[in-house]
Amino acid sequence: ADAIKKLTEQYNVTYIGIDSTGVGHGVYENVKAFFPAVREFVYNPNVKNALVLKAYDIISHRRLEFDAGHTDIAQSFMAIRRATTASGNRPTYEASRSEEASHADLAWATMHALFNEPLQGESANTSNIVEIF
């Protein structure tokens, strides 16, 4: 939370999304103290589905750009696979932990940021491209 606070002091931060599942709950609570507008993500199949579908829409419409040298971002997205819940009756998404993709942490973090993108994306009045450097 301290690192996030330093970033909010250095940059004009307008949106923060945090996975509050497990150990992330403490980070979320601490960030909420200095950034009350923080968006909490409590991971479940519905949330994962919404994140993945939103990212798919943005990527398929070529509204996400990142430096080609950041292969770890692409690897992280490619590590996410469709699966079913333990009960077998609901679709969800998961990623196995690997040295290259680190449990798709970069992809999930990117999807948190993309979730703030307006649903309609480009229109006559807007033209949005998310760039990662």
pLDDT for position 118: 77
pLDDT at 4: 96
Residues 32 and 52 in one domain: no
Do both 81 and 61 map to the same domain? Answer: yes
Burial class (CB in 10 A: 0-12, 13-18, 19+), 21: middle
The backbone torsions φ and ψ at residue 30, rounded to the nearest 5 degrees and listed phi first, read: -70, -40
Residue pLDDT tens, the chain, 133 long:
999 999 999 999 999 999 999 889 999 999 999 999 999 999 999 999 999 999 999 999 888 999 989 999 999 999 999 999 889 889 999 987 776 657 799 999 999 999 998 766 556 555 666 666 6
54 and 34 within one domain: no
Judge if 119 and 54 occupy the same domain. yes
The number of C-alpha atoms within 13 Å of 68 and in the hemisphere containing its C-beta is 0
First-to-final CA distance of the chain: 22
Are residues 36 and 59 located together in one domain of the fold?
Answer: no
53 and 14 share one domain: no
Residue-wise DSSP of 53-122: HHHHHHHHTT-EEE-TT-HHHHHHHHTEEEEE-TTSSSEEEEE---TTTGGGHHHHHHHHHHTTS-TT-S
| Global confidence as pTM | 0.80
Q: How far apart are CA 67 and CA 119, in angstroms?
A: 24
- 51 and 36 within one domain: no
d(CA 34, CA 122): 32
Question: In terms of domains, do 67 and 97 share one?
Answer: yes
Name the residue among 32, 11, 28 with its Cα closest to residue 20: 28
Considering its fold, how many domains does the chain have in total?
A: 2
CB within 8 A of 130, min separation 6: which ones?
Answer: 58, 63, 64, 65, 113, 114, 117
